[in-house]
Chains A and B, each alone.
Chain A
């Protein structure tokens, strides 16, 4: 099968959905005529679709408002917020408008808005260009959250996100983009349903749930532990909301042990929510305490040694696994 980059997977998903549905359009800063997205992830779209690929001023509030207003009237906008940290700027539009309108209006409006954004640390982006905000966002009812870790998932999930009639925040990972991650993606069309986890590596001794960049670190750790005779199952939820809790609980049935690896400060993280779900619904399956391998409760630091210390890595994961196995 052909291999394409993570960035190209995103371009192909947007391209195919724009071709398929004339109500799909994309707006954001530096996405159309000059830069084609900060990482070239929207390459060729303006040339093909013209005015349906819209450069905006640096106006995140207006970008989100435009997406919301046009969605209510039946368009299917993709709003680019460039970096996930920038969600802070139009947070009212996300927190109070986009995700509440359907509910407040008694079910009258559909809000098929996809927000796409780069997220995550590992490349010295410093505190305002690195933060994962999935834990923060998952407490907002009405929003779906997608975090792909491979080219295959990136494409299939983005197509489903665009077709979804609900607001979806879609985060592609910065180090995977910059690292030129490649992966197998079929030529023929496919989609991946939101809310379906993927077993990235099968194992029998311990379940590791990892998200985004952390999936790759968990897989590297699993390979190392295999040499020591520890069989690690790595599960990638792929979507944070809706969350495939059955997949996690089914894996824990087999392994009786759970570690969650998440690139966020531990407090209020996705890892916290997953551990609460398993503790609440599958406590009897566990033979050891749940472990969370997360970042410390600080902003993301800049200098490489600081950031390396800050981000969870293979060694942190191996240490946590060794403690409970």
Chain B
């Protein structure tokens, strides 16, 4: 699939933005500036960025508890995200949602979700609305290996299949559902094989290769847009950090954690773009510095933003 130079550079920038955001969140969480729980996406950037690069701005996504990467890849603003994580009023949800519930309907983000797998049926509903309205918008649904063992996976994908809904299911298999290895939770080697049960295409892609993800998801998006129904794509990724911040991953063999870091998708993509002549080393460094400044500004924005008034807890229950 032909892809413009500017778009490739933008994909690199977005991957760096996600990593820089996540590593800063890690620091701020450790410092006690972010309440609650955070689940970091570091290591999986190529998957979100490759997938979202195949979408139009007016398409939709649903995301997960590990959602920061998906949201940034769909156009979420890092300052408003950081403010939400800090529990501040200018955050995406006015401080009512936090890390696991960020949504921006105007740019097609139908919400991160704290319940594993819940986005699968909701994405189907969004796709149904688009189908009934006669638009050609596509909904892309991110979820993990853990979600593929839930009721939603079965009911949601089956319904999307029989109704030919314009939805693409991106199963990011990072090998662990919290602390439980997928090898103890499913007999299959490739979770994409589960597509057979629903009579839809199932594809496996190396989720550390942004271009491979872009191409594979792009084909599925084109198919969905033409009204040919859903596809299940298993994006094989690696989770750099624990399930949540504070989880030391004692359940993972040390060797495996070390190997995981060697699969880092960002230097891999950077190397590829340099080799393709799309990006020069110094341009890449400039991008990294720009993003560092952006995230610095995002933290400052969050720190300087007010908390909501306590009584605002009573608002937004009913219309």
Contacts and interface: CB of A to CB of B under 8 A. Distances in A.
Interface of A: 25, 51-52, 56-57, 59-62, 64-75, 77, 92-93, 96-97, 101-110, 141-142, 144, 165-166
B158 A65 contact: no
Query: 6 nearest interchain CB pairs?
Result: A65-B121, A69-B125, A106-B93, A106-B94, A107-B316, A73-B129
B280 interface: no
A89 B110 CA distance: 23
B128 interface: yes
14 contacts: A65-B121, A65-B156, A69-B123, A69-B124, A69-B127, A70-B132, A72-B126, A73-B125, A75-B133, A93-B118, A101-B103, A103-B316, A105-B96, A105-B97
B115 A65 contact: no
A103 B317 contact: yes
Interface in B106-153: 110-111, 113-115, 118, 120-130, 132-133, 139, 151-152
Contacts, number: 139
Contact of B125 (A70, A103, A144, A165): A70
Q: Size range of the interface on B?
A: 35 or more
Contacts of A59: 155, 158-159
A61 B317 CA distance: 23
A266 to B, nearest CB: 27
Nearest to B103: A105
A97 B315 contact: no
A253 B133 CA distance: 52
B3 interface: no
Nearest to B115: A96
B97 to A, nearest CB: 4
A102 B101 CA distance: 10
A65 B152 contact: yes
B125 A166 contact: no
A130 B111 CA distance: 35
B196 interface: no
A104 B159 contact: no
Nearest to A167: B318
A68 B319 contact: no
Contacts of A70: 125-126, 128-129, 132
Contacts of A57: 155, 158-159, 162
B105 interface: yes
B86 interface: no
A68 B125 contact: yes
Interface of B: 60, 62, 91-97, 101, 103-105, 110-111, 113-115, 118, 120-130, 132-133, 139, 151-152, 155-156, 158-159, 162, 315-319
B128 A104 contact: no
Contacts of B128: 66, 69-70, 75
A105 B84 CA distance: 10
Contacts of B114: 96
A29 B36 CA distance: 40
A68 B119 CA distance: 10
Contacts of B101: 104-105
A97 B159 contact: no
Contact of A62 (B93, B94, B95, B121): B121
Nearest to A56: B159
A92 B316 CA distance: 20
Contact of A105 (B93, B125, B315): B93
A62 B317 contact: no
B111 A101 contact: yes
Contacts of B60: 73
B316 A64 contact: no
Contact of B120 (A65, A72, A74, A104): A65
Contacts of B123: 69
A107 B123 CA distance: 20
Contacts of A61: 121, 151-152, 155-156
B96 A103 contact: yes
Contacts of B111: 101, 104-105
A97 B129 CA distance: 17
A69 B129 contact: yes
A144 B318 CA distance: 9
Contact of B118 (A75, A97, A105): A97
Nearest to B157: A62
Given A61-B152, A65-B120, A75-B132, 11 more contacts: A62-B156, A65-B121, A65-B152, A68-B125, A69-B128, A70-B128, A73-B129, A73-B130, A73-B133, A92-B115, A102-B319
Contacts of A62: 121, 124, 152, 155-156, 158-159
A66 B93 contact: no
B121 A93 contact: yes
Contact of B124 (A60, A65, A75): A65
A206 B93 CA distance: 48
A230 to B, nearest CB: 39
Contacts of A77: 125
A108 to B, nearest CB: 6
